Amino acid sequence: MNTQKAKGNHTNLNFFLLPFYFLLFGGLFSCNKVAESLFSISAAKNLPVRKISEIKNQKQVNSTVYLKGKVGNQASFVGGGAYELQDTTGSIWILTKQPLLQKGDELIIQGKVQYQSMPLILAAGGKAVGEVYVEERQQLEHRPVKNRLLPLSLER
């Protein structure tokens, strides 16, 4: 009789600890870099994602490219805006008709390479100066920056 009672208490204890286990393991996975690794393999898995430095150096105008990076500086204007997309190799301006995103958001986009020359500005040696940029065609994946809570001040 005592062994059955002890066994029943053990089962009840396991049942009550079950939610605790879910919280514990959920917390472990959320602290891990699982979310980042999922971001890097989900949409970009089968896409030829290019480095920004390659796009700027090769200047393949009108070619379709896939880029991955973080949103930097932004500029809004009538009918759209532009944001700077940054990866480990550099940054490039992306022209968009979508609402501008938060600085630090991570994106995978499809776009078309463009080049704007500035004929009035000549670099040393008489070469015309211009800028390579990308017209955004589609945002394939967007991961917003995590909200950072600021510490509350105890002073009043």
Q: What is the pLDDT of residues 106-146, one digit of tens each?
A: 999 999 999 988 766 565 566 667 889 999 999 999 999 87
How large a percentage of the chain has pLDDT more than 70? 58
Residue 149 reports pLDDT greater than 60: no
Token pair of 67, please? Answer: 């880029």
pLDDT value of residue 117: 81
